[in-house]
Structure 1
């Protein structure tokens, strides 16, 4: 094996380790030579589930100074594995610290990050991953499923180009935050969007203005045209479902008032903006299935696929 040039081995390891970390762990067990050659790439992309795996990865990275994590997927499976809600089973303080420590350790080299954590609005203040203090200078793609949204600071991810968030993260200040701090953003997707969010139509108007798809009411037509982005920008909106799949495949209906509110305002469908797309409604699968889908989309993007942007037939890869 040592007869093969080192540069070729490194290229092989780089191409082989674009999965959830399984290949990298296997390479580390082949031999001391392969373990040494593959050290930089074994953790190129890696998926972790829960605080125990987070701690394990953090310890491994401490002992592998050449390791570079480019793509990270984190899921907190406690709410569907235990069968208990996050309100009943809150995350421990030491677990929050472990997750934040890992994110801080990999932040200088990360290109894509997916976090699936169903912390509720009721427990968010004392039970959430602190994204605001972190800085991701190379991050170009971010998926946040749960109550998480991008921090209102240009230091968090100045090169962020694609953002995928959930309905829980939508608020009136989102459009202003994106336009002020995320000037490189070209793709925005909001999944499971519910109309019972306060002033949803106003929020959509702010977002389309922030992305350069509509003229803000405070600007004249000439002023707006002169500041329009030179590259296409896209917004994808996925309406929320009318029902959810509960445990053991049971269908869980929301109350009639909320169910009516899950239909988006007709005005959104009538905008007919070239780069504004209303997707088919969320099918209402449970949280475990949502985590699996988020992981599959993350892996697809790593391997040059469109991931959650497939409806755009996107062929622009990540900056790998």
Structure 2
């Protein structure tokens, strides 16, 4: 291995580091030579999810590796899966009075770290999956509604959002984005999909998940792309049915049956723009959402179709 040219090792490690960071960490433990040789590619794809401590550790590691880099290639992040710190902190560290000074300090520190992360990676990102929840946990949940980041993701081509759009300052533009996946939070107000046509004018593939009703906006998009002038494929996914025995009673279940009938009719009537229906999936806040989103993201990073089939 030590006889291979650094350019060849760089290419090999880039092909290997597509699993969110595990392979990159493993390569750094092989030997000092391999640690140095793979420094520029170990951060090719990164998964950050779980706790604020993990974000702290990643930023410290990335800045240290960039400072130690003596090669022509600088460590950059091309693919990022980011799940906002919610489960662990809500259950333990951040529980309590939302006005508690220590809680506010923790939130402020986390927000600063998130802003730093975006400043470090946005100019190189090619794919991004951003997961965050909100709703009945809003008193203890870190609210990510106004993320401070650069004004554009210049090379981002694939974006998946689980929750509302957090990039609202600027507004943030995505000039090269072609694949957009929007999953609306069950607790958020309805978003206007058409607003994305101005932020990302080159979108060719649009996926909308957790649909609760067939709006006129969706009908216009399915008819001829609507405001998306380059759209060639539309994927739609209905909201999951209510759990049996839920507090809303049988009325919610029968309402969902009527909605599914309308949903299927909508897909069948979309003859001008290729429209595909995906099976519903429960996307409740928590680990399940993260695992489901991460599985699709890893497929995309590894060259698979993901949800674009």
Match in the other structure for 1:142? 159
Aligned residues of 2:222 and 2:270 also touching (Cα < 8 A):
no
Q: Is 1:120 aligned to residue 135 of structure 2?
A: yes
Q: 1:127 to 1:89 in 2, by over 3 A?
A: farther
User: Separation in 2 of the partners of 1:258 and 1:87?
Assistant: 32
Question: Compared with structure 1, are the counterparts of its residues 179 and 237 closer, same or farther at alpha carbon in structure 2 (3 Å cutoff)?
Answer: same
C-alpha distance in 2 between matches for 1:255 and 1:64: 53
Relative to structure 1, is the Cα distance of residues 275 and 254 closer, same or farther in structure 2, using a 3 angstrom cutoff?
farther
Q: Quick one: structure 1 residues 83 and 51, their matched pair in 2 at CA, closer, same or farther if it must change by over 3 Å?
A: closer
* TM-score in terms of structure 2 length: 0.78
Counterparts in 2 of 1:87-98, with a 5 A limit? 92-98=107-113
> For residues 77 and 152 of structure 1, do their structure 2 counterparts lie closer, same or farther at Cα, with a shift above 3 Å needed?
closer
> 1:1-320, aligned counterparts within 5 Å?
1-49=1-49, 50-65=51-66, 66-76=74-84, 78-79=86-87, 92-120=107-135, 123=138, 127-128=143-144, 130-131=146-147, 133-134=149-150, 135-148=152-165, 151=168, 155-168=172-185, 171=190, 173-175=192-194, 177-195=195-213, 200-208=214-222, 212-213=224-225, 229=230, 233-244=232-243, 253=246, 255-256=248-249, 257-262=251-256, 263-264=259-260, 265-266=262-263, 268-273=266-271, 274-283=273-282, 287-309=286-308, 312=309
Compared with structure 1, are the counterparts of its residues 98 and 190 closer, same or farther at alpha carbon in structure 2 (3 Å cutoff)? Answer: same
Closer/same/farther in 2, CA of residues 112 and 252 from structure 1, 3 Å limit: farther
Flag structure 2 segments of 5+ consecutive residues without an equivalent. 67-73, 99-105
Gaps of 5+ in 1: 217-226, 245-250, 313-320
Q: Deviations over 1:104-126 (max 9, x none)?
A: 21111111111121123883997
Whole-Å separation in 1 of the counterparts to 2:42 and 2:292: 24
Please give the alpha-carbon distance, in whole angstroms, between the structure 1 residues aligned to 2:242 and 2:137: 22
Give me the whole-angstrom Cα distance separating, in 2, the residues matched to 1:94 and 1:142: 26
Task: Report Cα offsets for 1:30-59 as digits up to 9, x if no partner.
Answer: 222211111110100011122211111111
8 Å contact from structure 2 (residues 283, 289) kept in 1: no
**1:19 and 1:45 in contact (8 A); partners too:** yes
CA distance in structure 1 between the aligned counterparts of 2:275 and 2:189, rounded to whole angstroms: 17
| TM-score, structure 1 normalization | 0.76
Task: Answer yes or no: is the 8 Å Cα contact 1:48–1:75 preserved in 2.
Answer: yes
Supply the RMSD in Å over aligned alpha carbons. 3.3
Alpha carbons of 1:101 and 1:9: their partners in 2 closer, same or farther (altered >3 Å)? same
Separation in 2 of the partners of 1:79 and 1:152? 26
Contact 1:71 1:112 in 2 (8 A): yes
Counterpart contact for 2:80–2:125, Cα < 8 Å: yes
The answer to whether the Cα contact below 8 Å between 1:153 and 1:181 also exists between their aligned partners in 2 is no
Rate the CA distance shift 1:184–1:132 in 2: closer, same or farther, 3 A.
farther
Q: Deviations over 1:123-178 (max 9, x none)?
A: 39971163464321111111111233664867532111111121236735321x12
User: What SS does the corresponding residue of 1:8 show, helix, strand or coil?
Assistant: helix
CA positional deviation for 1:283: 4.9
CA offsets 1:242-274 (integer angstroms, 9 cap, x no match): 135xxxxxx673614554554253552342334
Tell me whether 154-163 or 266-275 shows the greater mean CA deviation: 266-275
Tell me how far 1:29 sits from its aligned partner.
2.0
